[in-house]
Structure 1
Amino acid sequence: MPPPRLTLTTDVSHGPLDGAWWPRCDALELELPCLVGSLEPDPDTTVRVTVEPSEWPDAPRTVMAPGRVIAVEPAGPGSEAHVITLDCGSVGRWVLLIVPPEEPAGTAARLLAAAADPENPLTATRMLALAETGRLGGTAGQAD
């Protein structure tokens, strides 16, 4: 697969998100190995991913990736939709907005940029709602 369409904050995030990921399809078992690989965890690092079951109803419990097995866990009650959490042990933990695969490129680009803004106070659900109405600017500061 090609590299993941991913943006991460360049500094410590002050918002609810650490960036965004725009998968090419909704098959987690196809998309996840490339995403995790781009974060560069050591092959011996335990990687756990948490996803919202309603967003990924057919998500496998484990995903095979080169040199590792990725544990996939359902998010608990009250968790935010449209988010994936990646816990890569000592490498780091990221909470990412999931841009829907079918999102138009222009809208996806605005979502990727806004989610990577370390000053962005918006939740994933709010950013997607603003994008749907055409009110999400290029950065979080331009939203609303």
Structure 2
Amino acid sequence: MTSASSPPPSVPAPSEARLRIADQPRQGRTARKIDGAWWPRSYDLAAELPGLLGGLPGGWGRISSVLVNGDSWPACPERMVVAGQAVHVGRTDSPTAPHTVCLLVPGRGRWDLLVVPPDTDEAEAGRIMERAVTQGV
């Protein structure tokens, strides 16, 4: 039995996003296809997206829309509130970008992140993320 004076159950602190951003962001029409890499802990986009958006560089601006592959993220809301801001979530079934997430900022552009599957071995995830930020693929 819980009394009225009992403290509320503790809520675990959100985990830091496992994120790598390329040192040189894409400028105009360069060969870089990927701006960074993200290794989420699960396929629960509602749980993972706040950590991702909170870990992005401040210079990227406020992300208003996120486009994810529907096959990789089976359940995703159409709209979320992250840090007090509404974020539209769109889904695509494009076979050309099955493991990416596209982040959009009105009037500023877009950033594409490679998504490393959550169940990837830590060493392999590190290699994939390093390759993404150094080679942009």
TM-score (norm: length of structure 2): 0.76
Query: What is the CA-CA distance between 1:36 and the residue it aligns to?
Result: 1.1
**CA distance 1:57–1:3, shift in 2 (3 Å):** same
Q: Deviations over 1:114-141 (max 9, x none)?
A: 1111xx263xxxxxxxxxxxxxxxxxxx
Q: Which of the two has greater helix per residue? A: 1
1:66 corresponds to = 83
1:10 aligns with 2:23: yes
* Amino acid in the other structure paired with 1:9: A
1:87 corresponds to = 104
1:24 aligns with 2:41: yes
**CA distance 1:88–1:114, shift in 2 (3 Å):** same
Larger radius of gyration: 2
Distance 2:45 2:89 in 1: 9
Distance 2:114 2:32 in 1: 12
The runs of 5 or more residues in structure 2 that have no matched partner are 1-13
Whether the 8 Å contact between 1:33 and 1:63 is mirrored in structure 2 is: no
Query: What is the CA-CA distance between 1:49 and the residue it aligns to?
Result: 0.3
1:97 corresponds to = 114
Count how many residue pairs are aligned between Structure 1 and Structure 2.
118
2:7 corresponds to = none
Distance 1:4 1:38 in 2: 6
TM-align CA RMSD: 2.0
Q: Matched residues, percent identical?
A: 31
TM-score (norm: length of structure 1): 0.72
2:53 corresponds to = 36
